């Protein structure tokens, strides 16, 4: 494993006076790759390795005993708790800072003594241009949502002030497990004075200081609004053999990447939040009694067990919360509240109803909701970067100026709410590793959200209030909309890739839509009942246990009774990263397949359908049920005659590809990766002729060159 590592003086964090500039960050990045940089950091004290940067798309199923074994519901706690956090946080809403004191207890589940542990310091992604997060945004041209510019004074960071184990100072070193720039300080290694014995626990006393950024990438402030996420030193996960493909104990810690979300152990959180009087506070978990007032400040005390993160919000502009109670079979009584600013009061009822609807759907189709609270937050004007983010029992919805029913804005708010609540199951309770296997959370959640909307007969509204008044009320089937979002113009990353080895932001985004589309196709092939039973089984078997890609695959194969079909689907779509194209090569191959038809948005959706398993002998589209218009392979003798012509190499994936849109499917006989010029492809698409360079402009039907002719047994991957 090649690691890019850097070190500061043990027990000391570099000052914040001179945040690294882009130029210095680049230079530092280069320096990080030198052997000298590696040599400066002493090895961990126990020799336990970090998970490799590309530890994704797990193929080996986890053992039945993984994560303490399946939860029967008869245990004293919902999860096999590993961590315990007791935190006191004092907010200065004028300076947007937090003084924090944290007592962290961690249990060593392994059979070996542990001397070095790793903490995530996520807020340091926003301390300057030198972080991995900002480097990826700048260097790769990736973007995050609104790409809100960070100006002077907008940066944020977290600083360790003190770390002690049993009263003894603990030295620390910043590390870059994924080989990011040496200026990235989002992961820190603590070298403990005392080893943590196998099965034993240790307690660390940590003082820290947060400077929140101007709201950016799910955390920060705007005016008096504060969304406080990824804000405390958070210990990484020590994975054991038999868990997510690990063969020896390994630390699963990664730098904070642009598109990456999170992964952590289950445990309990006891958090006291100290804010000025007049601020409304919402947070993960249950409020313990009435908030305590003293000296113009108020302390809110929240407790929640069996979760793996804690986030909160504070604003003096929040209107009185909108509240409701959910009661469902198998669930405790759930208190639901929506916090919202006055300018978006009309959003609150939409968010509340969608949350209650989602509670009912997920409880019925996956399993009862196990917590007693749900808090949804509507971000204020100018804080859109805080919207659409999930935390345990707490999430942010979106903010819209208009909420006229039957419009895109209204549907958008409903969908975001359902989606963020749904994360409470896939990210919250199943707790997949979002660093390495984001499709297990984002993709599966997207699929289940759309099934909910589809099941209640709802379609996506794509009109505005003004157009609606004119009588334009266009709607789209939600799974058709997913296909639109899975356009092939994005390079073809495998869905099982980690969250940062991506060809583009759009390619990462297709984790949502392509997963939903692929699973919709699977449902069409195995039937609704088996698909629903498989997801219920997956949830019951793996709740509170961090399942991997292989664990999902095994459940689908077992319950569907069609292991070959499931295996093929996973090889084609989930593990497809094994093709390991470089970005430029993938893009070039992709462009060669963009015909006139799929260059428009609608047809881009049609192109996405080509990611479906090829059903070249089927006469019906598995998705729409409509008739497929297809052309069969040409006679072999014609291929032979053409083989003598010089022609560009076909690339690695010759195949028959169905082009489906509005119920019509053309079987394109052109290999996807043929690297032919786009112009030649345009002349060919959707016609009965396949003109090569010699026939440019000719309308006379001509046979395809041999390299375009698919093998009957070849499938598109």
Contact residues for Zn ion, defined by CB under 5 A = 442
For Zn ion, the closer CB: 85 or 508: 508
- Give 228's strand partners: 312
For Zn ion, the closer CB: 414 or 442: 442
Report, in Å, the least distance between residue 512 CB and Zn ion: 7
Whether residue 11 contacts residue 171, with contact meaning beta carbons closer than 8 Å, is answered with yes
Residue 270 phi/psi, 5-degree rounding, is: -130, 105
Report, in Å, the least distance between residue 643 CB and Zn ion: 49
Cα distance between residue 704 and residue 634, in whole Å: 9
For Zn ion, the closer CB: 365 or 599: 365
String of b and e for 361-395 (b: at least 16 CB within 10 Å)?
A: bbbebbbebbbebbbbbbbbeebbbbbbbbbbbbb
For Zn ion, the closer CB: 238 or 516: 516
Report, in Å, the least distance between residue 357 CB and Zn ion: 18
Report, in Å, the least distance between residue 389 CB and Zn ion: 8
String of b and e for 509-543 (b: at least 16 CB within 10 Å)?
A: bbbbbbbbbbbbbbbbbbeeebbeebbbebbebbb
In angstroms and rounded to an integer, the radius of gyration of the C-alpha atoms of the chain is 27
Q: DSSP states of 370-396 as a string?
A: --SEEEEE-PPTT-GGGSSEEETTEEE
Report the relative pairing of strands 280-283 and 292-294 from DSSP bridges.
unpaired
Report, in Å, the least distance between residue 441 CB and Zn ion: 7
Residue with the two structure tokens 């990447």? 257
- Name the residue with the smallest CB distance to Zn ion: 442
- Which two three-digit tokens encode residue 51? 């998970």
For Zn ion, the closer CB: 243 or 441: 441
Report, in Å, the least distance between residue 508 CB and Zn ion: 12
Whether residue 483 contacts residue 476, with contact meaning beta carbons closer than 8 Å, is answered with no
Name residues whose C-beta falls within 8 Å of residue 625's C-beta, 6 or more positions apart in sequence.
none
φ/ψ bin of 503: left (φ > 0), alpha (ψ from -120 to 50), beta (otherwise): alpha
Report, in Å, the least distance between residue 421 CB and Zn ion: 11
Report, in Å, the least distance between residue 423 CB and Zn ion: 6
For Zn ion, the closer CB: 367 or 438: 438
For Zn ion, the closer CB: 391 or 479: 391
For Zn ion, the closer CB: 385 or 442: 442
With CA atoms as reference, report the closest residue to 502 among 385, 410, 586: 586
For Zn ion, the closer CB: 442 or 521: 442
Report, in Å, the least distance between residue 681 CB and Zn ion: 35
Name residues whose C-beta falls within 8 Å of residue 288's C-beta, 6 or more positions apart in sequence.
301, 302, 303
């Amino acid at each position: 494993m090649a690691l890019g590592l850097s070190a500061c003086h043990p027990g000391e964090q570099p000052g914040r006076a001179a945040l690294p500039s882009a130029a210095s960050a680049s230079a530092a990045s280069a320096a990080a790759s030198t052997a000298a940089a590696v040599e400066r950091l002493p090895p961990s004290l126990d020799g336990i390795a970090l998970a490799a940067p590309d530890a994704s798309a797990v193929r080996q199923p986890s053992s039945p005993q993984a994560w303490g074994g399946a939860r029967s519901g008869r245990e004293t706690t919902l999860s096999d708790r590993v961590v315990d956090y007791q935190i006191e946080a004092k907010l200065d809403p004028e300076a947007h800072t937090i003084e924090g004191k944290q007592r962290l207890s961690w249990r060593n589940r392994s059979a070996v003594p542990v001397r070095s542990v790793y903490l995530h310091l996520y807020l340091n992604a926003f301390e300057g241009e030198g972080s991995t997060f900002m480097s990826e945004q700048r260097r790769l041209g990736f973007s995050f949502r609104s790409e809100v510019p960070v100006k002077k004074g907008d940066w944020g960071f977290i600083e360790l002030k003190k770390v002690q184990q049993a009263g003894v100072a603990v030295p620390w070193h910043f590390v870059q497990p994924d080989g990011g720039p040496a200026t990235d300080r989002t992961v820190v290694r603590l070298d403990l004075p005392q080893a943590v014995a196998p099965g034993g626990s240790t307690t660390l006393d940590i003082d820290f200081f947060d400077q929140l950024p101007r709201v950016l990438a799910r955390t920060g402030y705007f005016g008096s609004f504060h969304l406080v996420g990824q804000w405390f030193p958070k210990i990484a996960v020590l994975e054991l053999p038999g868990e997510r493909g690990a063969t020896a104990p390994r630390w699963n810690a990664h730098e904070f990447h642009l598109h990456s979300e999170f992964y952590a152990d289950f445990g309990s959180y006891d958090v006291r939040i100290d804010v000025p009087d007049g601020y409304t506070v919402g947070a993960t978990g249950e409020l313990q009694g009435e908030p305590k007032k003293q000296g113009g400040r108020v302390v809110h005390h929240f407790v929640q067990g069996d979760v793996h993160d804690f986030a909160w919000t504070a604003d003096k502009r929040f209107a009185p919360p909108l509240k409701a109670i959910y009661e469902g079979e198998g669930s405790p009584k759930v208190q639901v509240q929506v916090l919202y600013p006055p300018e978006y009061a009309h959003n609150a009822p939409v968010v509340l109803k969608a949350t209650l609807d989602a509670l009912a759907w997920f409880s019925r189709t996956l399993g009862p909701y196990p917590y007693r609270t749900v808090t949804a937050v509507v971000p204020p004007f100018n804080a859109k970067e805080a919207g659409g983010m999930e935390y345990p029992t707490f999430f942010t919805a979106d903010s819209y100026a208009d909420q006229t029913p039957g419009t895109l804005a209204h549907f958008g708010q409903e969908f975001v709410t359902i989606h963020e609540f749904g994360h409470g199951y896939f990210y919250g309770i199943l707790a997949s590793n979002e660093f390495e296997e984001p499709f297990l959370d984002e993709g599966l959640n997207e699929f289940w959200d759309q099934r909910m909307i589809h099941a209640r007969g709802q379609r996506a509204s794509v009109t505005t209030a003004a157009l609606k008044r004119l009588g334009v009320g266009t709607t789209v089937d939600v799974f058709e909309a997913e296909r639109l979002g899975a356009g092939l113009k994005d390079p073809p990353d495998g869905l099982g890739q980690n969250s940062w080895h991506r060809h583009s932001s759009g390619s990462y985004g297709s984790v949502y839509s392509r997963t939903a589309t692929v699973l919709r196709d699977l449902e069409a092939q195995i039937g609704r009942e088996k698909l629903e039973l498989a997801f219920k089984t997956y949830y019951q078997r793996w709740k509170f246990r961090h399942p991997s890609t292989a664990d999902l695959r095994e459940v689908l194969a077992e319950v569907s009774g069609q292991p070959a079909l499931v295996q093929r689907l996973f090889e084609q779509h989930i593990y497809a990263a094994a093709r390991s194209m470089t970005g430029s090569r993938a893009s070039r191959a992709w462009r060669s397949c963009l015909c006139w038809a799929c260059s428009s948005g609608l047809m881009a959706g049609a192109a996405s359908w080509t990611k479906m398993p090829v059903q070249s002998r089927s006469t019906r589209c598995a998705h729409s049920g409509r008739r497929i218009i297809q052309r069969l392979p040409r006679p072999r003798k014609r291929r032979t005659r053409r083989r003598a012509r010089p022609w560009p190499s076909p690339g690695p994936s010759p195949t028959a590809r169905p082009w489906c849109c509005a119920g019509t499917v053309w079987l394109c006989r052109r290999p996807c990766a043929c690297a032919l010029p786009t112009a030649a492809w345009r002349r060919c698409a959707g016609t009965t002729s396949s003109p090569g360079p010699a026939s440019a402009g000719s309308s006379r039907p001509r046979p395809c060159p041999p390299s375009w002719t698919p093998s009957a047994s070849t499938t598109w991957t």
